[in-house]
Each structure stands twice: as C-alpha cells, then as structure tokens.
Amino acid sequence: MVTSLEKQVVIVGGGTAGWMTAAAFARLLPSGCSITLVESEQIGTVGVGEATIPHIRYFNQLLGIDERQFIEATQATYKLAIEFVGWGEASSRYMHPFSAFGPDMGGVDFHHHWLSARGALPNLSLDSFSLAAQLARADRFAPPPPDSDLGYGYAFHLDASRYALFLRRYAEARHVTRREGKVSRVVQAPEDGRIEAVVLESGVRVEGDLFIDCSGFRSLLLGQTLGVPFESWKRWLPCDRAVAMASEPLDTPPSYTRSTATATGWQWRIPLQHRTGNGQVYASDFLGDDEACEQLRQSLNSHPLSEPNLIRFEAGCRARSWEKNCVAIGLSSGFLEPLESTSIYLIQMAIIKCVEFFPAARDQTFSREAFNRWMGLEYRRVRDFLILHYHLNRRTDSAFWNGCASMDIPDGLKRKIDLFRESSTVEHYEQGLFAQPSWLAVYLGQGLSPEGWDSRAMPAAQTTMVRSLEAMAARLRELARGAPEHREVILRGGLKREPPAAMNLYGERHGQ
C-alpha cells in the first residue's frame, strides 16, 4: 500500500511549463502534498508553444477550466491545421489537419483509393477530403460534427505568457505557494546526491522531496546540478536559431498556423486576437542573425509590434528526464523546434506521466524508469516526424535543403519512408503522438510518390470511384462554406458549449 503521498514538491521556474505543472499538481495531487514554485521576475521566459495541438483541450478540461474563459484570458484563436508552404517543391502548399482523410472504403484505407484515382482527379488534393482542412482553407471554424467519418480535433493559438499567468492564478487559488527569487545554490544530499533544497539569493532555503526542473534551457537542476548529459540531434535537425517578432493582429485571423519554408529554414505565423506571432527558424551555419531578422521583417503581413527576440537552441533531449528526485519538464528536458506545435504537448505528457508514476515510496527507481522510457519514446517519435519534413523537401534552391534531403536519417525513420514509398503503407504504432493521418499529410503533401498501393483500391469501375470521390469532396466544401467565419466565432467569445476533449490529435477517429 502507499507509504506516503504527503510530499513537498518544489517547482523551479515559472513560465508555461512551470505553471502548467503547478496547476495540474494542485488539481491532481493529494491535498497532503505541498507545492511550491520558485521563480524570478528577473528571468524572462521563452514563451514556447503559442500554437498548440488538440491535447491542450484535454489538459484544460482535466483542470476544469472553462474554454471561453481560457480564450479570453489567453487571447486565443482556434486552430484546425498547420499549413506547410514550400516544403515540398518551392511552390507546394499542403495542410496537416487535426483529422483523418476520408473514410475507409471496403476495409481499405481511404488514401489507397485516392492514390488509385488521383490521375483522374487533378484538382483534388488529399486536403480535399478533410473537413478540418476545408474549414481552415475557408477561414472558418465549427465544432466537430457528430458524424464520426467527418470528425476532427481542434486546438488553439494562444499567448503563452498569458496562459502561464492564467494558470498561475488558478494554481495560487489552490494553495500553490509562489516564492520570488533567483536560485543561487542547489543543495544535494551527501550520501546519494539527491536534491535536498534550493537556496535563493535572499538566503531562503526551499526544501523538497521531489523537484521539478522547469528552468528552461538552463536545465538548472537536471543538467547543471545532476549532470545528466544532453543528447544533440543537430545532425538531423540543423536549425539552431529562432527570431520571434509580434505584429498587429490580422483582420481575418485564419484557423490554422502557417509554416513557410525559406532558403535556410522556415517561418511561422500564428494568429492571436491581440497580435500575430511571427518567427523565423534557421540554421546559423547558413544565415546570419541580422539577415534572419531582416527576412522576418520583410515577410510580415502586418505592422510590427515588437523588436526581434533572438533565441538560440539546439535540438535534442537529456539522456534522462528524471534523475534521482528531479523531474525535468519542458525545455530543461529537451527541445524540438515548434514546427508541429509539440512543445506544450510534451510538457503536458510529462506532467501526466509524472502523476501516473508519482513516487509513493522514497525509492523512486520505477517511477524514474517508467517516466524516462515513456518520455524518451515521445521525444524520439516527435523528432522523427520533424526530421521527415526536412528530409522529404524537394527544394533545389539552397545548400541547406540539399543537405537535408541527402542526410543520413535515423534507421526507424528510413524504414518508415521506404515502406510508404513501396506500398503507400504507414508504419503502425500506438504509443506516440503522430499516427497515420499525420504521416500521410507530410508524405503526400511533400510529394513522395509511392510506387504502389493496395490492389483492392484498383477501381473495377474507375468512373464510379472518381464520381464518388468528387461528391465526397464537394460535400466537405459545402459543409465548410456553411460554417461560421472563424473571426465571428472568436468575436462571440468562442463556442457556447465545448465538446468533450480526448487525448487524441484527430478527434475520435484515429490515434486513440
């Protein structure tokens, strides 16, 4: 039986990761646990994850947060997809929606039928068979319809600093203690090296049983104190700089994030209610910081509201996210560029797994092992999916992209690509974020043409199949046109009733 759940939990670092952790712990951990968060107003936050994926709704619902209040507090807009511009050939454009594409037909996945018939359907891309993508293209938003064949998930673009503040209020109202101050020293137990306390510059000593490192890139506890090494993935994800800049809000905020490939990386555009988040991610070997800032300025769709904010990073993660009695959550654990909006998701998963494997006894061996196995898998699966975008580029305009196309990639990813290239089959796995629809979006969106597909999709009566697919796409277009404009829904404060959320990228259809 549980020996003791009455623990002193100390979170080092505020920001999105720190306050998400504090809020979730306040809600989920036993009342006997004390939760203290140490942060300093003198230390800025990176403010990761302005674009999110649908899992954030599950997190908010778990905490009992009302969606309309959340939208108001974080100046959020809805998000149904990410549009990738120029990632295949320079002129290419595709959506990665939070949905599957089309229904299974005759027990065969839809995309095989589409591949079989696409010669006769030059104007219908895979996006045409996703209601979420169609809504996004039309700058519209509606909650997913009950028809499961059309189901999708939705997420938000949000102001991460405001989200952290919102959660701070939530957490402090639930007895989370905030201590202002910089950590000057970390005290370790001489016998086993576990962390006993952090000492602030003021001399205040904050003791704990379990320490959560949310100190960002510094990785103050896990990296600096406990010496857990950082495993770099720069050889596969070569970008190491980002410059971010806010601009005025768009008149018609789209219900999707845009990612536009440039000659040396990519740019994001994230529409919020009160501003537009813009950024450029690039490889410093190929582009200088000043040039990057200038390129970003030139690409803005609205007047700038801030000076460029430069962020240096390296893709990779710590060899272990949980070491001794310290759990790293967020950037202190690892960093993957925001290409697929996974930062907040990885924070969320770390929090959930920390609660699932919460150590009841003093011995945390199994908690550590289980947590590290799980998070290691999550990071690597997301990593491979990001590498896919770079590796499958079909651009010919720069050494950067040529290098990405010809680089060695992880074996597991190579196997996945080979399988799809040969047979249009997406390698199956159940644990991890991105399932078949996501892989399809990128494979086909970036122009990987498979050599074959399921022979059952060879239409005996091709004309019938073509008509059927045309009718399907027309229906989705029609449904999208009939949906409210995204801008209007936001002006009304969001949906009146929020549908139940799932830990799932695609609504109820895939990836359960």
Residue 500 as a binder of other proteins (CB under 8 A): the answer is: no
CB of residue 25 to other proteins, shortest distance in Å: 10
Residue 454 as a binder of other proteins (CB under 8 A): the answer is: yes
**For residue 414, how many other CB atoms are within 10 A of its CB?**
13
Instruction: Annotate each residue in 220-249 with x if it binds other proteins (CB under 8 A) or - if it does not, as one string.
Output: ------------------------------
CB of residue 51 to other proteins, shortest distance in Å: 29
Residue 146 as a binder of other proteins (CB under 8 A): the answer is: no
CB of residue 105 to other proteins, shortest distance in Å: 13
Residue 44 as a binder of other proteins (CB under 8 A): the answer is: no
Measured distance CA(480)–CA(486) in Å, rounded = 11
The answer to whether 353 and 246 have CB atoms below 8 angstroms apart is no
Handedness of CA 501, 383, 256, 104 (dihedral sign): negative
Q: What's the Cα-to-Cα distance from 477 to each of 100, 142, 470, 480, rounded to whole Å?
A: 16, 13, 11, 5
The enclosing H or E element of 156 equals: strand 155-157
Q: Which of these segments, 30-38, 145-153, 166-174, 402-410, binds other proteins (CB under 8 A)? A: 30-38
Q: What are phi and psi of 84, to 5 degrees?
A: -105, 120
- Identify the residue among 66, 149, 201, 356 touching other proteins (CB under 8 A): 356
Residue 378 as a binder of other proteins (CB under 8 A): the answer is: no
Residue 119 as a binder of other proteins (CB under 8 A): the answer is: yes
Closest of 17, 30, 98 to residue 59, by C-alpha: 17
**For residue 214, how many other CB atoms are within 10 A of its CB?**
33
CB of residue 102 to other proteins, shortest distance in Å: 17
Catalytic hit among 7, 79, 324, 353: 79
Residue 449 as a binder of other proteins (CB under 8 A): the answer is: yes
Closest of 117, 147, 85 to residue 445, by C-alpha: 85
Residue 425 as a binder of other proteins (CB under 8 A): the answer is: yes
Amino acid 63 reads L
Cα-based angle 140, 349, 261 (whole degrees, multiple of 5): 50
Cα-based angle 79, 82, 83 (whole degrees, multiple of 5): 130
Closer of 128 and 425 to other proteins (Cβ)? 425
Residue 451 as a binder of other proteins (CB under 8 A): the answer is: yes
Residue 461 as a binder of other proteins (CB under 8 A): the answer is: no
Angle, helices 343-356 vs 365-391, to 10°: value is 160
Residue 104 as a binder of other proteins (CB under 8 A): the answer is: no
Residue with the two structure tokens 């537009």: 276
- Identify the residue among 12, 17, 22, 29 touching other proteins (CB under 8 A): 29
Residue 101 as a binder of other proteins (CB under 8 A): the answer is: no
Q: What are phi and psi of 312, to 5 degrees?
A: -100, 140
Q: Which of these segments, 67-75, 253-261, 387-395, 419-427, binds other proteins (CB under 8 A)? A: 419-427
Measured distance CA(105)–CA(99) in Å, rounded = 17
Instruction: Annotate each residue in 59-98 with x if it binds other proteins (CB under 8 A) or - if it does not, as one string.
Output: ----------------------------------------
Q: What's the Cα-to-Cα distance from 291 to each of 86, 115, 506, rounded to whole Å?
A: 20, 41, 38
Closer of 366 and 399 to other proteins (Cβ)? 366
The answer to whether 315 and 336 have CB atoms below 8 angstroms apart is yes
Q: Which of these segments, 144-152, 170-178, 331-339, 447-455, binds other proteins (CB under 8 A)? A: 447-455
CB of residue 451 to other proteins, shortest distance in Å: 4
Measured distance CA(244)–CA(268) in Å, rounded = 9
Residue 422 as a binder of other proteins (CB under 8 A): the answer is: yes
| Residue 79 designated active-site | yes
Measured distance CA(175)–CA(173) in Å, rounded = 6
Residue 358 as a binder of other proteins (CB under 8 A): the answer is: yes
- The 3-state DSSP class for residue 422 equals helix
Closer of 273 and 436 to other proteins (Cβ)? 436
- Identify the residue among 42, 91, 123, 455 touching other proteins (CB under 8 A): 455
**For residue 366, how many other CB atoms are within 10 A of its CB?**
11
Closer of 128 and 424 to other proteins (Cβ)? 424
- Between strands 81-85 and 256-262, the pairing is parallel
Measured distance CA(70)–CA(67) in Å, rounded = 5
Closer of 56 and 115 to other proteins (Cβ)? 115
Q: Taking the CA atoms of the chain, what radius of gyration do you get in angstroms?
A: 23
Total site size for other proteins, rule CB under 8 A: 45
Residue 32 as a binder of other proteins (CB under 8 A): the answer is: yes
Q: What are phi and psi of 162, to 5 degrees?
A: -70, -35
Amino acid 401 reads W
Residue 122 as a binder of other proteins (CB under 8 A): the answer is: no
- Identify the residue among 317, 453, 486, 504 touching other proteins (CB under 8 A): 453
Closer of 59 and 358 to other proteins (Cβ)? 358
Closer of 415 and 467 to other proteins (Cβ)? 415
Instruction: Quickly count helices (H) and strands (E) in the chain.
Output: 14, 21
Residues found near other proteins in the complex (CB under 8 A):
1-2, 5, 28-32, 106-107, 115-116, 119, 355-358, 360-361, 366-367, 370, 415, 418-419, 421-425, 427-431, 449-456, 458, 460
Catalytic residue positions? Answer: 79
